[in-house]
Every structure is written in structure tokens, then in C-alpha cells.
Amino acid sequence: MRLNPKYLLTFVLLGVLVFVSLKTEKNALIGKGDVYVSEHPNRYRTVVFSWYDDISAPMSLRFEEAFAQWADKTDTIIIDLDSPGGSLIEGQKVIDVINAMKRSHTVETQVKANRYCLSMCVPIYLQGQRRLGSVSSRWMFHEPKLINVFTDEIEEQNSFDQKRSSYKFFNRYFVNSPMDEKWREKLREEWTGKDVWFTGAQLIDQQANIIQETI
């Protein structure tokens, strides 16, 4: 059976378009946020994965790649964070990768002096089986926001949708977390419609059980 030249040309063009699309998508990730990997200077078989960027693609992919490279060379992974937050979808993917790490390795999280862990960064930090933070670190909690993927601007949600998305987020990431129950419920009351900020020192003084140890 011979293909009509017109249809053959169509198939060729479709193949080219698919190739160009995949290549463009791959190239879009090159040079974006990356995981900086270093061996811990004082702890045997311990490696640090540092992320100093938004919670956005390709963060989960970079963590997967780093773990695949270091899994058989280490027993403990320290995730070092300094992030203004970002995508809920990408943040959940990162949490999935961390959960996979914890099946075979110990995972610690840390936020060092004068660094930030805001918004979606907090649920990622809370995945640490040991959680370290500086008294001068900065933390921010707020209700999830709807972001327009084309304009990157925040879009208003109606009251019902906002309450529903906030309830789901809070219960998924904070209720099912090591966060102190009384502190958590106070946060639930305070965060409606605003950004709630803390220093590491305040979280420790208030016994929020977010930071376990100071660094």
C-alpha cells in the first residue's frame, strides 16, 4: 500500500513538530534552578542537596537525578532550602521524591541563617525526619493562591473556592505533619486572607515543632 504524497508530507511535518516541541520543552529546563550537591565535611556518608530557587519545575526532576547519582554512596540526605515558595503541583512532586528517598535513606531538612522558607517551601521542609533551622531564618505561611499560568499573576477566587482550596491545603500539609497541634490551630485562625511571618526564633519560642534543632 502506497501513501498519498500529501498524507506522507503531513506525517513528516507532524513528526518534525513533535520533535521540535520536545526539544523546546527540554531546552526550557536547561539553566533553570538546579540542585547543588556537596558531601558533608564532618559526617560520614552524608550528602547535602541545596535548592536556592522557586518551587518550580524542574525541581522534582533535579532531586530525582541527584538521588539516583548519590543513593548508593550515602545513607543520609540533607535538603538545604532557601526558597520564596512557588507551585503547589511541583511542590507535591518534590514531596513524592522525598518520600521515595525515605524508603531507603534518612532525610533531614534545614534552613540556615538569614535564609527563607516561604509558602510551599514549608510543606517540603516538614518532610524532614530531622529538621534544623537558624533563629534568624524567615518563614511565611499563607493560603494557596490561584496563579494564571500565562500571565504569572494572581487571580481572584470566589469565597467558596478559596475556602475549599485553603481547607484542602491545610489538612494535607499541616494537619498531617509534625507541627504542634495547638500552634497549628492558631495558625489556621490567623492565616485567612494574609501572609503570616515568623523568624526561626519565634517558631522555636512558640514551640511550633517546625524547627527541631538550631543551626
* Count of domains observed in the chain: 2
What are the backbone dihedrals phi and psi of residue 175, each rounded to the nearest 5 degrees, phi first? -65, -45
Distances (CA, A) of 176 to 78, 162, 170, 180, 202: 21, 20, 9, 11, 22
Instruction: Check whether residue 48 and residue 121 sit in a common domain.
Output: yes
Query: What cell numbers appear for 207 in the block?
Result: 514551640
Same domain, 163 and 72: yes
What range defines the domain where residue 6 resides?
1-30
pTM above 0.85, yes or no: no
For residues 24 and 128, membership in a common domain is answered with: no
Residue 87 C-alpha from the chain's centroid: 8
Domain of 104: which CATH number? 3.90.226.10
| pLDDT tens digits for range 150-176 | 334 444 555 656 678 888 999 999 998
The mean predicted confidence, pLDDT, of the chain is 83
Residues 132 and 173 in one domain: yes
DSSP 183: H
DSSP per residue, 73-118: G-SEEEEEE-B--B-HHHHHHHHHHHHHHHTTSEEEEEE-TT-EEE
